[in-house]
Structure 1
Amino acid sequence: MMLTRRRFTQLSGMAAGSVLLRAASGASLTPDVTLEIAPYTLEASPKHHFRTVAYNGQVPGPLLRMRQGQEQTVEVRNLTADPEVVHWHGLFLPSQIDGAMEEGTPMIAPGATARYTLKPYPPGFRWFHTHTFAGKDLGKAQYGGQHGFLMIEPRENAGHYDREVFLGLHDWGGHMFGGDDGSMNPVYDVSTINGKMLGAGDPVRVKQGERVLMHVLNSSPTEVHWVALAGHSFHVVALDGNPVPQPRTVPMLRLAPAERVTALVEMNAPGVWVLGEVRKHVQAAGMGIVIEYAGATGEPVWKQPNDLVWDYRQFATSGGPNPRGNEIVSIDLVFDSKFQGHGNEELWRINGKSYPQTDEPILKTGQRYRLVLKNLSADDHPMHLHRHTFEVRKLGGTPEMRGLRKDVVLVPAKSTAEVEFVADNPGRTLFHCHQQDHMDRGFMMVFRYA
């Protein structure tokens, strides 16, 4: 399977790059956005350097701001030796430019340039990242530096805050740790916020009384992270860029890979503080950033919480009938892994099949679907649906809930989650675990529209 996916990726890149190059060469207008994919050495601290690939020579990549529905021209130049592609995570785009080879987006060949025209929608905090195969190379694909913040501004911005701060969580280096059952799990050396280890980057400087809107992204290839800000709390207003029906003030945030949280923080505790990963060993690996009030001095202060606390349900409303009395078509998706014998990696499967052999359920435009996600494995899985937003309806044996709209949901080990979406964006639609190692070993499938 791994060879099949790698070969498929490479062949797609070689075949499609020249087509995109011709399309780009015919356009003389200056693009609104230029992304250059090129080798880069990240200095996470003076003692920690990583050879990686990045957008525009920085990690995270440039913060892109676009206006909802306002046409944008994006030019992508691939200056690496491998085929590449940029996925616009959370946007409702045609399959041909969404940025996944499995949907039919052409790969950009080494040395080639692609140009896309898109109308960004929906508004909110999105992100962009590579969508390629890594295998055992912990310097490639999402293990590397190809990720950036994407903010789609609504037509009318009614935000009540003084300023915004964007924070990206990421894990680097390390090795693959193999179990007797064929499982392969990455173990990391370094963790960063905005590409820097705690103490190695500039602090976030704030003023007393400010209302700071923090946009937090977990771009880690595989790891769930819990973060807290000593001396402060987070008033969560949006998840995955979508406003929550019940904003809540919480002591910490939990983000699975690819999830985003937007929260207001009242700057009402002058001092020098640490915003960092709650688990001590991960913060010790570098995942933290200093929050410094104007005029404050001294060593940054951290206060260790006792428990890991998070529950999607607190941001939703209680269950009720579906809108417009829609009939719902249920699709059961069962997740497990298959041991292939000693010396071989396990395969991840959906309904007993591993990509590219997985089924391709056919969707009818306008129909509402409920995905029943049954996780039989001992791992938690962050499940992502491309090109659509879903409503989280049920988690385990808890009551139904409403209104919580996301594009990634973490399905805990040995449990079931249920989400609903309307099939309103025709085209091939990828559904996959957002852990790079699981995706590489077949944890993907494609929905097709009738």
Structure 2
Amino acid sequence: MLTRRRFTQLSSMAAGSMLLGSAAAAAAPDITIEIAPYMLEASPKHHFRTIAYNGQVPGPLLRMRQGQEQTVEVRNLTADPEVLHWHGLFLPSQIDGAMEEGTPMIAPGATVRYAFKPDPPGFRWFHTHTFAGKNLGKAQYGGQHGFLMIESREHAGNYDREVFIGLHDWGGHFAGGDDGYMNPVYDVSTINGKMLGAGDPVRVKQGERVLIHVLNSSPTEVHWIALPGHSFHVISLDGNSVPRPQTVSMLRLAPAERVSAVVEMNAPGVWVLGEVRKHVQEAGMGIVIEYATAAGEPVWKQPDALIWDYRQFSALGNTNQSGDEVVRIALDFDSKFQGHGNEELWRINGKSFPNTDEPILKTGQRYRLVLRNLSADDHPMHLHRHTFEVRKLGGASEMNGLRKDVLLVPARSTAEVEFVADNPGRTLFHCHQQDHMDRGFMMVFRYA
């Protein structure tokens, strides 16, 4: 059987320059990214051997202008084939960064160069898209992720400055749960690569309006974030402006989701911005927010409950009035248990990648994906190279205008999303949990 591991090995044999003429190849790149081994110091007592971009975790913050061509040179200084995925961008399949779509792997020691015009605007990110298996130092388990901001042609909003925050989980082991499945259990959780107290605080001034961009780069875990004494005015999800900005007490992010929210700094003191669940914050997921002239120990106030609802950001009324025919595609998610101590296979419509169906899309057609989660796990579902509109969650009424590229579909529930097939090429659809991807939870759409 062609497993994902073997598929990766075969795909990795091709490497080279991408979509560049001789003149462009000779010019200096706008951006250079080096993929290389790295020792992360999450705290003086916690060190992790991993792989990182440009010797830092998270990788460098990249800012690009919407529609302005960029050349990016990527050097693989590791011993394994690599690939770099530009999450959330509308790119050709050949450079999107997934071997399942046909992006060539970058061979060990090789250098490739990409040229593209970034679109759409908003908070995106870039990360590896390789196989990890049970190696908790590889692929998305490791440090290969970075922030990507595509600057709009228009000003994004009323704020004084931006702060970027990345959530991640590290180390640990695989353990069998009550259901017999093997799941990763982590030792350490960080914000921007540091455990609470080990990194520099975020220093703010009273009266500032700070736009906080939060990325959950965890390989498998959903996270809830709060900042006592303050609220988050959410203006975008996954880099896309929400129809109805809302002020909330906490944020929830599934793996690969992003939230951008304005926080008014109107409660002077020293605070902890951190994971709401006590055991995760105790594992290190927190960062100090320190007002100018403030002193003392950081303060945390424990919320009573975990609160989040996509629906509150949806538009009121029906915004989809185009009258276009919508073609429905039903996708059922489940797993096949292979015996205690063995890895289960994750399936879409009863099939596990690479032996899944490849639905054919017609350019310009609107499609509705009916995502029926038959399993006992929540799944963050990601569609490459497109943005979708969240149309329905569970048995609730229709939603409108909420655009995302990752959606958490709860266990034993159904969600419906719509997108227009407007970017021809092989298009990957998958659960963004690393262990689920490795066990076949993927499929590819093909354009006619």
Contact 2:222/2:255 (CA < 8 Å) preserved in 1? yes
- Mark the CA change 1:85 to 1:25 in structure 2 (over 3 Å): closer, same or farther: farther
Aligned residue runs from structure 1 range 28-427, under 5 A: 28-179=26-177, 181-320=179-318, 322-427=320-425
Shift of 1:344: 2.2
Q: Deviations over 1:189-209 (max 9, x none)?
A: 000000000000000000000
Shift of 1:73: 0.1
Secondary structure, counterpart of 1:320 in structure 2: coil
Q: Deviations over 1:254-283 (max 9, x none)?
A: 000000000000000000000000000000
Q: Percent identity, aligned pairs only?
A: 85
What is the aligned partner in structure 2 of residue 8 from structure 1? 7
Task: Specify every segment of 5 or more residues in structure 2 that has no aligned partner in the other structure, as ranges.
Answer: none
When the two structures are superposed, what TM-score results if normalisation uses the length of structure 1?
0.97
Task: Give the whole-Å Cα distance in 2 for the aligned partners of 1:402 and 1:370.
Answer: 13
Task: Give the whole-Å Cα distance in 1 for the aligned partners of 2:89 and 2:22.
Answer: 22
Task: Report the RMSD for the aligned CA atoms in angstroms.
Answer: 1.5
Secondary structure, counterpart of 1:378 in structure 2: coil
Contact 2:430/2:443 (CA < 8 Å) preserved in 1? yes
Letter in 2 for 1:13: S
Shift of 1:8: 1.5
Contact 2:320/2:400 (CA < 8 Å) preserved in 1? no
Task: Give the whole-Å Cα distance in 1 for the aligned partners of 2:415 and 2:296.
Answer: 46
Q: Which runs of 4+ in 1 moved over 4 A?
A: 18-26
Shift of 1:323: 3.1
Contact 2:182/2:341 (CA < 8 Å) preserved in 1? no
Task: Give the whole-Å Cα distance in 1 for the aligned partners of 2:191 and 2:20.
Answer: 38
Task: Give the whole-Å Cα distance in 2 for the aligned partners of 1:389 and 1:354.
Answer: 24
Contact 2:319/2:400 (CA < 8 Å) preserved in 1? no
Secondary structure, counterpart of 1:115 in structure 2: strand
- Mark the CA change 1:231 to 1:138 in structure 2 (over 3 Å): closer, same or farther: same
Question: Which deviates more from structure 2 when the two are superposed, residues 397-406 or residues 180-189?
Answer: 180-189
Shift of 1:181: 4.8
Q: Deviations over 1:3-28 (max 9, x none)?
A: 721122122112x1256699899811
Contact 2:18/2:115 (CA < 8 Å) preserved in 1? no
Task: Report the count of equivalent residues.
Answer: 448
Letter in 2 for 1:351: N
Shift of 1:317: 1.6
Contact 1:206/1:292 (CA < 8 Å) preserved in 2? yes
Task: Give the whole-Å Cα distance in 2 for the aligned partners of 1:144 and 1:323.
Answer: 44
Task: Give the whole-Å Cα distance in 2 for the aligned partners of 1:180 and 1:296.
Answer: 47
Secondary structure, counterpart of 2:26 in structure 1: coil
- Mark the CA change 1:211 to 1:429 in structure 2 (over 3 Å): closer, same or farther: same
Letter in 2 for 1:357: N
When the two structures are superposed, what TM-score results if normalisation uses the length of structure 2?
0.98
Task: Give the whole-Å Cα distance in 1 for the aligned partners of 2:33 and 2:7.
Answer: 24
Contact 2:332/2:374 (CA < 8 Å) preserved in 1? yes
Task: Give the whole-Å Cα distance in 1 for the aligned partners of 2:273 and 2:177.
Answer: 34
Secondary structure, counterpart of 1:274 in structure 2: strand
Q: Deviations over 1:204-246 (max 9, x none)?
A: 0000000000000000000000000011010000000000000
Q: Deviations over 1:92-151 (max 9, x none)?
A: 000000000000000000000010001000000000000000000010000000000000
